[in-house]
Chains A and B, each alone.
Chain A
């Protein structure tokens, strides 16, 4: 659809260029100021171009269409200077039309709509003045001058009509000025800064036409010079208005509504969200960034974390987007293109759900890669654990049992009853040892305390066996957590304590467990040498993966010389 629309606009533009070219070709053989005649056509092209640009960038705003219409009128007016009778007639009828359209533009800017009855009446009056009061000029013109529409040569009526038109035109402009001034007073300061010079310029440019004959003698200018000046002044109108419209910070509800319509479209024909936002806000440099809550930072569409520009530093503005009270992302935009962050914010609000979707996609892409890796590590860790258990059973218990069997065999060869007694006691002690080794092994795989009494008891058990003074604080953990959360929490504490004892050179340790409504908080701290990092050992890496599987968080703060502080949060909805 966007393509068809663009094609139609392009055709309009090409048509305008062809007409202007034909006109200039018609002027060329004529006597008189051909350059001045051509200026009319060129002014028409300027309007047309500016109007098409505005129409393309802001399809739902009528300003573009009004300016394009104005360009058409200009091209028609230029016909008056040809020597083709019918074309001259068209030019004569429309001669002052551009001024009416200019008044319409002034009233409709920037929303594209006439917002009050006064505005509508004024614009209608402007059209009546330019088209109705124009009729005496060509109906009662002297026939000799080549006026093809003349029905009688009545110079008195021509003069009367001209005076009437001038007075009425000035009245229209006065009303316009009052309307615009009122509107200025009601607008926000930053809009006023853009609108005030624009309105002033528009009014002056329009007034210069009826007042032209008065200006001529004052500044001692030739008729040609004044006309050329008027043309340039009027040609500047669409350029300045379109620039202001595309770059100024006006509340473009139309565009935002359009964005909403885009969001409602089916996904297949949708352009990327960022392009839709860029088009809506007229800022090609706009960037959408997404909030990754678990990483507590902004990421791009591929899930890579990015740093935002410092606001107020680079000319880049940042508007955060929330859905409900949840931060989901931000728009980074060019402040020169959109002075008013409110517009960017409202576009962000409209697109919030789509942005949240894209955010989830970005998160998913980032998580997928991490997930694959962590899955592989979990499988590896599981295998490693099995190998270790098998090895321990094989090297330890199995060997012990073989030796015990040999010992039992030896009982037969005991000489005396006393020898038999000693051998039997040895055998029993050996069996005790084997049993105790087996118990240790089973304990390492899954502590009995954890199975029988849950997390708190198991951690107490662990703390009991610590060779260093270990302070344990438990808050609200009596309400049982799920077995998975319990065992993960247990192994986090066990690994962290083991690391602290083995590597940290600590003198005291502390463990804290706290159950809140939604999560289990685990803290393990020591006063050792610090410098631990999660990437360092397979133990910590394995912990991170275990915690990750449950959707939890694990952070290690370990500045050199200041101990190690591990904090894990495991979600456990009750």
Chain B
């Protein structure tokens, strides 16, 4: 899979390239700032873009803004942004994208190489992926605000978290060691309880759940 990465920190850029090459990806360009990133995408037409949020020159959120710009001219290009820390807004801005194939992961996920590569492949395949820690944060916040959420059983809350992370019903079943049918029952109960519109599309499902949690 042809991939372009954006990371300003040289060591980390090399490390990331290394990890991805080992994971079977083809890193065609590694940009060190937002402009380079845009140029690299135009030049190489990659199948996936992975970028750090914080980039030069101001070291704020240039990486994210560049990624969103690129998505506007290439709406189908899957994009994963990496963040040093949790920030609800980043997740929400990314998920405001009309089309599937976005991911928001904490940088520390790179350390778990297999899971990281797996997440990248899922985004490439059209899923929307949120870091579990982001989901935990959203859930914790939502629990204090929404009575409906407190009425869910612990198992249902686990299912909801995995839905928000962008897992399919089959993946949720595997993660919780239950049948896919049991997962479907849980999800329909969750839809009823939270008054969410049922959806089979993974991206829309994440969108609905996150919108509910972040509201």
On whether the beta carbons of B145 and A452 are closer than 8 Å, the reply is: no
On whether the beta carbons of A457 and B108 are closer than 8 Å, the reply is: no
On whether the beta carbons of B85 and A457 are closer than 8 Å, the reply is: no
A457 and B91 CA atoms in complex are apart in Å by: 12
On whether the beta carbons of B87 and A461 are closer than 8 Å, the reply is: yes
On whether the beta carbons of B60 and A453 are closer than 8 Å, the reply is: yes
Q: Number of contacts between A and B (CB, 8 Å)?
A: 48
Q: Measured between C-beta atoms, what is the minimum distance from A146 to chain B in Å?
A: 112
A453 and B141 CA atoms in complex are apart in Å by: 20
On whether the beta carbons of B61 and A453 are closer than 8 Å, the reply is: yes
Range of interface residues on A (Cβ < 8 Å): 20 to 34
CB-contact partner of B60 in A439, A452, A463, under 8 A: A452
Task: Provide the residues of chain B in CB contact with A464, threshold 8 Å.
Answer: 88, 137-138, 140-141
A142 and B88 CA atoms in complex are apart in Å by: 122
A62 and B87 CA atoms in complex are apart in Å by: 81
Binds B, one of A300-308, A372-380, A430-438: A430-438
Within 8 A of A (CB), among B65-114: 84-89, 108, 111-112
On whether the beta carbons of A469 and B88 are closer than 8 Å, the reply is: no
On whether the beta carbons of B87 and A432 are closer than 8 Å, the reply is: no
On whether the beta carbons of B88 and A452 are closer than 8 Å, the reply is: no
Task: Provide the residues of chain A in CB contact with B138, threshold 8 Å.
Answer: 464
On whether the beta carbons of A452 and B111 are closer than 8 Å, the reply is: no
Q: Measured between C-beta atoms, what is the minimum distance from A85 to chain B in Å?
A: 107
**Candidate in A452, A457, A468 with the most chain B CB atoms within 10 angstroms:** A452
A457 and B141 CA atoms in complex are apart in Å by: 15
Residues 542-572 of chain A: 1 if any B CB is under 8 Å from the residue's CB, otherwise 0?
Answer: 0000000000000000000000000000000
CB-contact partner of A439 in B85, B111, B140, B145, under 8 A: B85
Task: Provide the residues of chain B in CB contact with A118, threshold 8 Å.
Answer: none
Q: Measured between C-beta atoms, what is the minimum distance from A486 to chain B in Å?
A: 12
Q: Measured between C-beta atoms, what is the minimum distance from B130 to chain A in Å?
A: 14
A460 and B137 CA atoms in complex are apart in Å by: 12
Task: Provide the residues of chain B in CB contact with A465, threshold 8 Å.
Answer: 137
On whether the beta carbons of B144 and A452 are closer than 8 Å, the reply is: no
Q: Measured between C-beta atoms, what is the minimum distance from A482 to chain B in Å?
A: 15
**What 7 pairs between A and B have smallest CB-CB spacing?**
A469-B144, A452-B60, A448-B85, A464-B141, A452-B61, A457-B89, A449-B87
Q: List 19 A-B contacts (CB under 8 A).
A: A428-B112, A439-B85, A448-B54, A449-B85, A449-B87, A451-B59, A451-B60, A452-B54, A452-B59, A452-B87, A453-B60, A457-B89, A460-B88, A460-B89, A461-B86, A461-B87, A463-B141, A464-B88, A464-B137
Taking Cβ atoms with an 8 Å cutoff, the residues of A that contact B are: 428, 431-432, 435-436, 439, 443, 448-449, 451-453, 457, 460-461, 463-470
With A452-B54, A464-B138 known, 8 other A-B pairs at CB within 8 A are: A428-B111, A428-B112, A432-B111, A452-B87, A453-B60, A464-B137, A468-B144, A469-B145
